[in-house]
């Protein structure tokens, strides 16, 4: 797959060949769903807790006798049917996380990258950084590729300066080529990938980089 490489000013510089094994695969919607569901499940704290009938503080005595009152029969005040009683089938602390096979994760990432490339939502930009660390300098660059839409920038490595410049932009997120997140990548309306990151990502998913 051939993709154009743009300068930070939005001008075409050259073309780059992207590996079809990473950017040109048929989109597998099932594995994308599993990967996103796995990430969201692993983020869940799972600390919600309610008290059941056996855990609520109170007497076991009946509030009134079984017969002769004309009222419905009642058990103790801890019944789920009374105010302040136990909760029926309420949540208990639990671990929602689960392990997704490595092959499934990789296929999901490649499917999302292929989807973005096919939908023309993937833009390759020459390597750049924001030496000043100022948001306005990064916004000038972003305005050439994406305006007021959810954007993901894929970096070659951990660039502290560009992350500092982008932390005040609510619609922007950063990902490293070897630590992609399916949720951010899939829901990003625009994916801006640095040229070096695109090459490293191809090597990474082809097993040449660990």
CATH number at residue 136: 3.40.1370.10
Neighbours of 181 (CB within 10 A): 18
Instruction: Evaluate if residue 208 carries a pLDDT over 60.
Output: no
60 lies in some domain: no
Whether residue 198 is contained in a domain is answered as: yes
Structural domain boundaries, residue 178: 2-27+109-205
Six token digits for residue 28: 């597998």
Residue 98 lies in a domain: no
| DSSP per position, 112-148 | HHHHHHHTT-EEEE-----TT--HHHHHHHHTTT-SS
What pLDDT sits at residue 92?
95
Bridge pairing between strands 12-17 and 2-6:
antiparallel
pLDDT tens-digit series, residues 127-158? 888 888 899 999 998 988 888 889 999 998 88
pLDDT tens digits for 42-64?
999 999 999 999 999 988 899 89
Q: How wide is the angle at C-alpha 98 spanned by C-alphas 95 and 102, nearest 5°?
A: 155
In a domain, 71, yes or no: no
- pLDDT at residue 114 is higher than 80: yes
Confirm whether 36 is domain-assigned: no
Domain count, the chain: 1
pLDDT tens digits for range 33-46: 999 999 999 999 99
């Amino acid at each position: 797959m051939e993709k154009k490489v743009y300068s930070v000013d939005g001008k075409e510089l050259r073309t780059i060949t992207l590996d079809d094994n990473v950017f040109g695969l048929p989109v597998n919607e099932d594995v994308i769903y599993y990967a996103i569901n796995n990430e969201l499940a692993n983020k869940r704290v799972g600390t919600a807790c309610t008290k059941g009938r056996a855990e609520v503080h109170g007497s076991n005595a009946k509030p009134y006798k079984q017969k002769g009152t004309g009222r419905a029969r009642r058990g103790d005040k801890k019944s789920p049917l009374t105010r302040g009683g136990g909760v029926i089938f309420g949540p208990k602390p639990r671990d929602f996380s689960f392990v997704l096979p490595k092959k499934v994760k990789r296929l999901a990432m490649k499917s999302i990258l292929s989807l973005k490339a096919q939908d023309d939502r993937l833009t390759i930009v020459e390597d750049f950084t924001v030496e000043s660390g100022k948001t306005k300098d990064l916004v000038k660059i972003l305005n050439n590729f994406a305006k007021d839409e959810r954007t993901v920038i894929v970096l070659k490595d951990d660039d502290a300066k560009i992350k500092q410049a982008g932390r005040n932009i609510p619609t922007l997120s950063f990902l490293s080529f070897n630590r992609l997140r399916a949720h951010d990548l899939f829901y990003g309306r625009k994916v801006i990938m640095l040229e070096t990151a695109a090459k490293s990502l191809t090597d990474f998913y082809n097993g040449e980089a660990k």
